[in-house]
């Protein structure tokens, strides 16, 4: 027994020498902090829900969603997130449950700098930490609500602590063990400061699958404002308009997409479908033929649309 303990302690010592040797993100941030990042920020208005046993996932998400203006309690989220036998919640389900409440779920890049930028922009950030060690994990979700570069501190709503202050280095150790996993829950129309174009639009299209098209459309429109001419966002505006039965808006969106991206099968196919729904078969046929001629992975859909228009014309 004693030998085992000694061996374990020796192992831990070596592990610490290796794994705990540095906190590169904190160091680079403190050494040369970007001029446009405020020295300190704290989102004091983010509500606090104390965590019940094992319920840091639902509690953290409830804080984030409420901060985004979506009223929900940890109790509501528990059946959507919690895995009884694992005594915890999975990362992808944190994202999925966010969408179930109509918010955009966006996973941030694994950068401390990006996280602080989101907080400076007013969005609290959910993080996954391993509070213990890689070989003895204690996984924990918390909400980062503030930071102070001068004091090198991170401020969190965590577990039973309404305002937990961690040295930035300690935070980085615990966060790096989850590969710096961080996410935000955003209300309709809002885009993260640090959003990357393609992954953000993918996050919105994931929300479109299960959410109210009107809310999602406002986010696509905001995305087009930030990244003018983005094809997927243009298609998204068209598709949500179609779901809302606004054919004129849908047509305009697909025409714009087809004009900006003359090689997009999706744009021409969906334009053809919209025109066909309005019994404007000649125009529809032209768009559908164009979609088919472009080929690619969506060819089959385009061919079906074309065949459908042909059969409708015969009726």
Whole-number minimum distance, CB 192 to other proteins, in Å? 17
Q: Cα separation of 165 and 10, whole Å?
A: 30
Measured CA to CA in angstroms, residue 151 lies from 97, 147, 166 at distances of 35, 9, 10
Confirm if 127 and 178 have CB atoms less than 8 A apart: yes
Query: Looking at beta carbons only, is 8 or 71 nearer to other proteins?
Result: 8
Would you count residue 55 as binding other proteins (CB under 8 A)? yes
Q: Rounded to 10 degrees, what is the CA torsion of 15, 21, 25, 26?
A: 120
Would you count residue 133 as binding other proteins (CB under 8 A)? yes
Would you count residue 89 as binding other proteins (CB under 8 A)? yes
Query: Looking at beta carbons only, is 192 or 238 nearer to other proteins?
Result: 238
Would you count residue 80 as binding other proteins (CB under 8 A)? yes
Query: Looking at beta carbons only, is 51 or 194 nearer to other proteins?
Result: 51
Tokens of 100: 């179930």
From 33-41, 64-72, 116-124, 293-301, give the range in contact with other proteins by CB under 8 A.
293-301
First to last CA, the chain: 85
The length of the chain in residues reads 315
Q: Is 140 exposed, middle or buried (0-12, 13-18, 19+ CB in 10 A)?
A: buried
Binding residue (CB under 8 A) for other proteins from 10, 14, 50, 138: 138
Tokens of 314: 């015969």
Binding residue (CB under 8 A) for other proteins from 63, 72, 97, 292: 97
Using alpha carbons, select from 168, 156, 45, 46 the residue that is nearest to residue 113. 168
Query: Looking at beta carbons only, is 45 or 52 nearer to other proteins?
Result: 52
Confirm if 143 and 158 have CB atoms less than 8 A apart: yes
Query: Looking at beta carbons only, is 117 or 177 nearer to other proteins?
Result: 177
Interface of this chain with other proteins, residues 160 to 219, rule: CB under 8 A: 160-161, 166-167, 169-171, 173-174, 178, 198, 201-202, 204-206, 208-210
Binding residue (CB under 8 A) for other proteins from 39, 87, 162, 226: 87
3-class DSSP state of 304? helix
Would you count residue 298 as binding other proteins (CB under 8 A)? yes
Would you count residue 235 as binding other proteins (CB under 8 A)? yes
Would you count residue 314 as binding other proteins (CB under 8 A)? no
């Amino acid at each position: 027994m004693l030998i085992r303990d000694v061996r374990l302690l020796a192992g831990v010592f070596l592990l610490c020498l290796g794994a705990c040797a540095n906190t590169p993100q904190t160091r680079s941030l403190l050494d040369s902090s970007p001029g446009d990042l405020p020295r300190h920020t704290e989102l004091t208005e983010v509500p606090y829900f104390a965590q019940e046993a094992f319920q840091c996932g639902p509690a953290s998400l409830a804080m984030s969603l409420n901060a985004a203006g979506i009223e929900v309690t940890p109790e509501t989220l528990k059946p959507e997130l919690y895995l009884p036998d694992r005594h915890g919640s999975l990362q992808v389900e944190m994202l999925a449950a966010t969408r179930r409440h109509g918010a955009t779920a966006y996973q941030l890049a694994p950068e401390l700098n990006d996280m602080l930028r989101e907080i400076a922009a007013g969005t609290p950030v959910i993080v996954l930490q391993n509070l213990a060690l890689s070989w003895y994990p204690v996984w924990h979700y918390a909400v980062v609500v503030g930071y102070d570069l001068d004091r090198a501190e991170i401020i969190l709503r965590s577990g039973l602590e309404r305002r937990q202050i961690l040295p930035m280095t300690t935070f980085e150790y615990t966060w790096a063990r989850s590969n710096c996993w961080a996410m935000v829950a955003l209300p309709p129309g809002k885009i993260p400061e640090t959003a990357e174009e393609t992954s953000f639009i993918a996050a919105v299209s994931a929300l479109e699958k299960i959410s109210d098209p009107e809310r999602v459309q406002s986010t696509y429109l905001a995305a087009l404002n930030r990244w003018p001419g983005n094809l997927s966002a243009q298609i998204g505006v068209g598709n949500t308009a179609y779901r809302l039965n606004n054919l004129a808006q849908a047509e305009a969106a697909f025409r714009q997409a087809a004009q900006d991206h003359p090689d997009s099968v999706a744009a021409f196919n969906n334009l053809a479908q919209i025109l066909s729904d309005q019994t404007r078969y000649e125009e529809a046929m032209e768009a559908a033929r164009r979609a088919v001629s472009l080929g690619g992975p969506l060819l089959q859909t385009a061919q079906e649309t074309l065949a459908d228009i042909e059969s409708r014309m015969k009726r």
